[in-house]
Chain A
Amino acid sequence: MSALMVDAQRVHKNFGTNEVLKGIDFEVASGQVVCLLGPSGSGKSTFLRCINHLEKIDAGRLYVDGELVGYRQDGDKLYELREKDVATKRTEIGMVFQHFNLFPHMTALGNIVEAPIRVKGEGKAEVHERAHELLAKVGLADRAKAYPRQLSGGQQQRVAIARALAMRPKLMLFDEPTSALDPELVGDVLAVMRDLARSGMTMIVVTHEIGFAREVADTVVFMDAGVVVESGPPQEVIANPQHQRTKTFLSQVL
């Protein structure tokens, strides 16, 4: 079990009476890259948000690195975690959003150093040094002092990736990281993600970039209407889908 970074067992989630996740079983081993594909409204983003407890699950069990997400189990009973403990666990999971969500009142550098200093209490000098390294890694060494509004979408998303990495997470979640970008800016962001995958980071990527999934993913999971329809290596799921729904979806996006 300990080799599993994420282990979801029959996870259900409903918003009011609308059930969006209907029993998701899902495993990600340490160091693996998993791409979540599926039509919009299929529950992929919701599931991703459950993994770092931005959404509460209603049934089933969800473990990250062997620990229950959002709860503490004592015998048969589940206890809700305190806000502080939830926050501490989130520091180990990086998240990248579709709309970047950079803090507009801080520079690129300010965005990156904020959490390591304020949340983890790390030393300023050390964090700044790391932030500059990360900016160089995402190809933005010269934009440290730029405000988000002065950066292109692709640059903003790369800063957002650097911001998440600055916390030294053991798992990275990407929620449609290139969906809000102009087509010519997608490549730079995907290149950064590809490098990250090669460095051995465990990644779960919700995406519509089939090419990226085919090339980088160890496992591709196809979701529709709140269930996992099929999953497996990309050469199987993308090249030779077994289910009709997968076939239909792929024929529409390819």
Chain B
Amino acid sequence: MASDLDTARERPETIRAVPVRHPWRWVALAVIAIFVAMFVHLLVANPNFDWPTVRKYLFDPLILRGVWMTIKLTLLSMAIGIIIGIVVAVMRLSSNPIVAGVAWLYVWFFRGTPLLVQITFWFAISALIKTISIGVPFGPSFWSKPTNSLITLFVTALLALSLNEGAYMSEIVRAGILAVDEGQTEAAHALGMTRLQTMRRIVLPQAMRVIVPPTGNEVNNMLKNTALVSTIGMFELLRSAEAIFNANYKTIPLLIDAIFWYLLMTSAWQVLQFYIERYYGRGSTRATSLTPIQKAKLMFAGMQHHGGIS
């Protein structure tokens, strides 16, 4: 009888073995401690860091305005870039060869040239096209204005960043769409849904899981790439810092201020990104990943049992 098997016998004693020792961890710790000490000494002892100046300008109104402009440029150009990305990705997968070809050309151009060149090009666009007008192509125009008055510095920066971003986003969206099982499209078609309905209602929502993580990285990149529009005189974070150190020659302290703000922004984004990915991963994985707080709690609990490094 099966029940006799288990009940008759006692559970053997729980194993309590001596854990494996890790002497090299202690060596590594010592080496790293020396480097850290050297680095801290450098920060404190070298007067050229000029920490009082760093502190003085950290919350300077010009710097704060630069931070705000960097955030604004990042959010707006990402938003526009994502919309362009979706449209171009859907075009790229279209059965119409001309539409697909146009999308391919777009990606080819904007991925194939440096962002800095594109920014400079858009900045110089008024030299190429003096006026912008609405009317009959090659015929009379009903409305026209000089390019410079329409395309301000902000619009130029936004245009350059978002058109470039659109090309990268389209590749990300395309990968997401292709990752959705073909059976989904077939089932939708069999129910009488058109290609557009299928894309919007069935494929794109499922593609999100694949699209979201790399899009998070794009936001991080964009936060940093906005520094490139400082070259055309856009007052974002880097340009603001430059304006101050060009006047007072305190280059290093002001660059440290800029680094501080960039790190703060990218770190804040990293935290946000974690929770967004967790949200979109919800449906597809059985167990959601732990939040850092949950992890810390677990680690703390583990330390009490095993005594940390041993």
Contacts and interface: CB of A to CB of B under 8 A. Distances in A.
B190 A52 contact: yes
Interface in B142-193: 181, 183-184, 186-193
B192 A87 contact: yes
Interface string B193-219: 111010001100110000000000000
A119 B183 contact: no
B191 A167 contact: yes
A90 B184 contact: no
A52 B189 CA distance: 9
A133 B196 CA distance: 30
Contacts of B205: 105
Given A83-B194, A167-B191, A118 B183 contact: no
Contact of B191 (A89, A105, A119, A149): A119
Interface in A61-90: 83-84, 87-90
Contacts of B195: 83
A87 B283 contact: no
Contact of B197 (A93, A102, A119): A119
Interface string A105-149: 100000000110011100000000000000000000000000101
A104 B201 CA distance: 12
Contacts of A91: 191-192
Interface residues of B, number: 19
A166 to B, nearest CB: 9
A149 B231 CA distance: 52
B193 A119 contact: yes
Contact of B201 (A89, A90, A114): A114
A103 interface: yes
B189 to A, nearest CB: 7
A212 interface: no
Nearest to A111: B187
B205 to A, nearest CB: 5
A54 B182 CA distance: 12
Contact of B192 (A88, A97, A149): A88
Nearest to B208: A105
A214 interface: no
A147 B282 CA distance: 12
A143 to B, nearest CB: 17
B129 to A, nearest CB: 38
28 contacts: A52-B190, A54-B186, A54-B189, A83-B194, A83-B195, A88-B192, A90-B189, A90-B190, A90-B192, A94-B190, A97-B186, A97-B187, A99-B183, A101-B183, A101-B186, A103-B187, A103-B188, A103-B206, A104-B283, A105-B206, A114-B191, A114-B201, A115-B192, A115-B193, A118-B201, A120-B192, A147-B283, A164-B191
The 10 closest A-B pairs by CB, nearest first: A91-B192, A101-B187, A115-B191, A95-B190, A101-B183, A90-B192, A119-B192, A87-B192, A105-B205, A87-B194
Given A97-B187, A101-B183, 5 more contacts: A87-B194, A89-B192, A91-B192, A103-B206, A115-B192
